[in-house]
Amino acid sequence: MATDYDAPRKTEDDSESIEALKERVPDKMSGSVDVEDSDNPSGFELPGADLSDLELDVVVLPPQEDEFTCMSCFLVKHRSQIDHEDGPGFICVECAA
């Protein structure tokens, strides 16, 4: 059976009056203030904060046989991205465009 998704759907909850719905919605002009801002969580730190007590564990891999470093953007890319070889090294397809 085909379903018409554009047809309006009526449920038992739709029978509430407009006045009842208005009572449930908080008044925009009321004096209550939302203390917790969802856009600014409490764990958010501003740029320039002191992070000297943090230790970062990063594993640095040596260059692989199928990789090269572009001499224009200095990104490590796969050899299939080589466009041409310039004097000191290779240039990637994106930088050559």
Close Cβ partners of 73 (under 8 Å, ≥ 6 residues apart): 92, 94, 95
Q: Tens digit of pLDDT for each residue in 30-80?
A: 555 555 555 555 566 677 778 788 888 999 898 899 999 999 999 999 999
Do 86 and 95 touch, CB atoms closer than 8 A?
no
Domain boundaries, given as residue ranges, for the chain: 63-96
Helix (H) or strand (E) holding 22: helix 18-24
Q: Tens digit of pLDDT for each residue in 9-25?
A: 766 655 667 777 777 77
Considering the entire predicted model, what is its pTM? 0.42
Close Cβ partners of 32 (under 8 Å, ≥ 6 residues apart): 26
Phi-psi region of 11 (alpha: psi -120 to 50; beta: other; left: phi over 0): beta
